[in-house]
């Protein structure tokens, strides 16, 4: 009995070792941990992929340098491009640590379908990775170094977390994009990343630009010594957003501001930061959005932050059940929120209830106007239901009717809706003082 158990145990151990794949083991040093992935369409119509992988330091004292390796390659498809990048790497590229996915505008406008297919199939890819779209060259975005995070992918990761707080860009993840593309009543809205100059007050030189002679001690080690990943290193390999001038200017910083508006998987255009903030409010995805309100009759300005906000759709009753019944149907976007006064650049003190009521009305009216502008962009300019109104209707219509009659023509139907915002914002807090400090002569 004991002997049998021992034999069985040995068999189990042998099989377990075989299962672990020790025969083709990979040391951690031979694994390239990809932090960022970029995808764009080259001018020749081929797909260009970039990968930015971290180079872990052997010494703990050097870990803050966060060196990275940036490479790119082209392919006929997304997967082929990614595979071709892998062929340039001495390490096995591992996608499980991807923080940010940067998509070029050209690729976004031609459709994300092929990219989403690859992301959904690759088991190791993080569904919570951030997704951004950029009109700037992808390699320049990935080449940005910041004192806060020298790897651009990590920098974008930090910015996205902050962007959600400030309501300047949607917190778009691979999961949210895939979920939105699969529902006719939802449309993806992806954060916009763009390059902006950033100056260092200490050195009076752009951040990241090092004194001459010292050379770079960290940051992307570009593949083949060419700027912009492998873009310039391949004959005719310059992608749509990686031309010969794709040297990443170290003076650049990345700013997340606004969003890319999609219809299904195709990008239709850009949303301004204000439109994006309003969209986040309507979709109850906003953080602490701040804006300046001009007081009537030139009495100055008041800056407020929306602390809490709840938006809902008042759908027509009964719910239309045919395309024709939808035409001209009235939908009210009802918004209730509380605001905090952050700055008062005015002689007004808003100490009486009447003054507060007037301010509430003014703030509400301003938000309503901005939402009307968003609705106009959504209905007239791009013709895509960015507000997610279709999803609200879908939840109240039978599945068969929605799938058969409404969903295939939803964008057309959406443009005919009469959408009216109705906001009610109320000042709840005014900071640690009830009045502005008054300098005396």
Are residues 92 and 31 in contact, defined by beta-carbon separation less than 8 angstroms?
A: yes
Binding-site member from 203, 398, 404, 435 for other proteins (CB under 8 A):
398
Token output for 70:
């940036």
Binding-site member from 6, 96, 244, 325 for other proteins (CB under 8 A):
96
Q: Based on the shown chain and the rule CB under 8 A, indicate whether residue 397 belongs to the binding site for other proteins.
A: yes
Prior bond to 177 cis, omega within 30? no
* Residues facing residue 39 across a β-bridge: 49, 103
Q: Which is nearer to other proteins, 19 or 202 (CB)?
A: 19
Give every CB contact of residue 44 below 8 A, 6+ residues apart in sequence: 236
Q: Which is nearer to other proteins, 95 or 193 (CB)?
A: 95
* Residues facing residue 172 across a β-bridge: none
Instruction: Give the footprint of other proteins on residues 45-84 (CB under 8 A).
Output: none
Residue 76 burial by CB count (10 A; 0-12/13-18/19+): exposed, middle or buried?
exposed
Instruction: Give the footprint of other proteins on residues 362-391 (CB under 8 A).
Output: 391
Nearest approach in angstroms of CB 409 to other proteins is: 18
Residue 440 burial by CB count (10 A; 0-12/13-18/19+): exposed, middle or buried?
exposed
Q: Site map for other proteins, 164-203, x if CB under 8 A?
A: -----------x--xx--xx--------------------
Q: Based on the shown chain and the rule CB under 8 A, indicate whether residue 318 belongs to the binding site for other proteins.
A: no
Are residues 397 and 321 in contact, defined by beta-carbon separation less than 8 angstroms?
A: yes
Q: Based on the shown chain and the rule CB under 8 A, indicate whether residue 8 belongs to the binding site for other proteins.
A: yes
User: Which has the closest alpha carbon to 384: 376, 392, 396, 372?
Assistant: 376
Mark the segment that binds other proteins (CB under 8 A) among 12-20, 77-85, 327-335, 429-437: 12-20
Instruction: Give the footprint of other proteins on residues 215-244 (CB under 8 A).
Output: none
CA–CA dist 299, 297 (Å, integer): 6
Binding-site member from 58, 64, 87, 399 for other proteins (CB under 8 A):
399
Token output for 378:
């959504």
Nearest approach in angstroms of CB 366 to other proteins is: 29
Query: For the chain, what is the largest distance between any 2 Cα atoms, rounded to a whole number of angstroms?
Result: 101
Q: Which is nearer to other proteins, 396 or 428 (CB)?
A: 396
Instruction: Give the footprint of other proteins on residues 123-142 (CB under 8 A).
Output: 123-124, 126-128
Nearest approach in angstroms of CB 198 to other proteins is: 25
For 285, other C-beta atoms within 10 Å of its C-beta total 16
Q: Based on the shown chain and the rule CB under 8 A, indicate whether residue 10 belongs to the binding site for other proteins.
A: no
User: Which has the closest alpha carbon to 349: 432, 434, 290?
Assistant: 434
Mark the segment that binds other proteins (CB under 8 A) among 6-14, 85-93, 131-139, 369-377: 6-14
Helices assigned H by DSSP within 301-351: 323-326
Residues that bind other proteins (CB under 8 A): 8, 11-12, 15-16, 18-21, 24, 96, 123-124, 126-128, 175, 178-179, 182-183, 391-392, 394-400
């Amino acid at each position: 009995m004991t002997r049998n158990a021992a034999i069985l145990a040995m068999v189990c151990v042998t099989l377990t070792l075989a299962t672990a794949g020790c025969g083709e083991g990979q040391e951690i040093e031979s694994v390239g941990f990809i932090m960022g992935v970029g995808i764009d369409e080259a001018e020749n119509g081929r797909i260009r992929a970039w990968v930015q992988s971290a180079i872990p330091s052997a010494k703990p004292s050097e870990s803050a340098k966060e060196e990275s390796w940036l490479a790119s390659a082209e392919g006929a498809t997304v997967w082929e491009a990614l595979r071709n990048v892998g062929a340039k790497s001495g390490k096995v590229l591992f996608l499980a640590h991807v923080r940010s996915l940067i998509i070029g505008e050209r690729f976004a406008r031609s459709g994300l379908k092929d990219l989403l297919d690859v992301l959904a199939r690759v088991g190791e890819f993080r569904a919570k990775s951030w997704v951004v779209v950029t009109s700037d060259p992808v390699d320049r975005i990935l080449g940005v170094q910041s004192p806060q995070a020298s790897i651009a992918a990590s920098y974008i990761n930090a910015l996205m977390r902050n962007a959600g707080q400030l309501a300047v860009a949607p917190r778009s993840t691979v999961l949210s994009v895939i979920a939105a593309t699969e529902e006719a009543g939802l449309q993806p809205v992806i954060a916009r990343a763009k390059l902006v100059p950033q100056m260092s007050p200490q050195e009076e030189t752009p951040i990241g630009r090092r004194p001459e002679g010292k050379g770079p001690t960290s940051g992307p080690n570009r593949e083949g010594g060419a700027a912009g990943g492998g873009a310039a290193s391949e004959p005719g390999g310059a992608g749509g957003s990686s031309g010969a001038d794709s040297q990443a200017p170290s003076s650049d910083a990345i700013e997340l501001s606004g969003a890319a508006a999609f219809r299904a998987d195709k990008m239709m255009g850009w949303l301004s930061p204000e439109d994006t903030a309003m969209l986040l409010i309507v979709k109850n995805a906003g953080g602490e959005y701040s804006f300046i309100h001009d007081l009537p009759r030139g009495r100055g300005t008041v800056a407020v932050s929306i602390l809490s906000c709840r938006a809902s759709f008042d759908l027509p009753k009964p719910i239309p059940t045919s395309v024709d019944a939808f035409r001209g149907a009235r939908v009210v976007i009802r918004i209730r929120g509380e605001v905090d006064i952050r700055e008062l650049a005015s002689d007004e003190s808003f100490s009486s209830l009447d003054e507060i009521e007037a301010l509430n009305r003014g703030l509400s009216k301003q938000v309503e106007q901005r939402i009307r502008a968003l609705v106009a962009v959504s209905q007239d300019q791009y013709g895509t239901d960015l507000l997610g109104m279709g999803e609200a209707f879908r939840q109240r219509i039978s599945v068969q009717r929605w799938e058969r009659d409404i969903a295939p023509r939803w964008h057309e139907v959406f443009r005919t809706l009469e959408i009216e915002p109705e906001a009610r914002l109320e000042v709840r807090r005014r900071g640690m003082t009830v009045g502005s400090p008054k300098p005396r002569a």
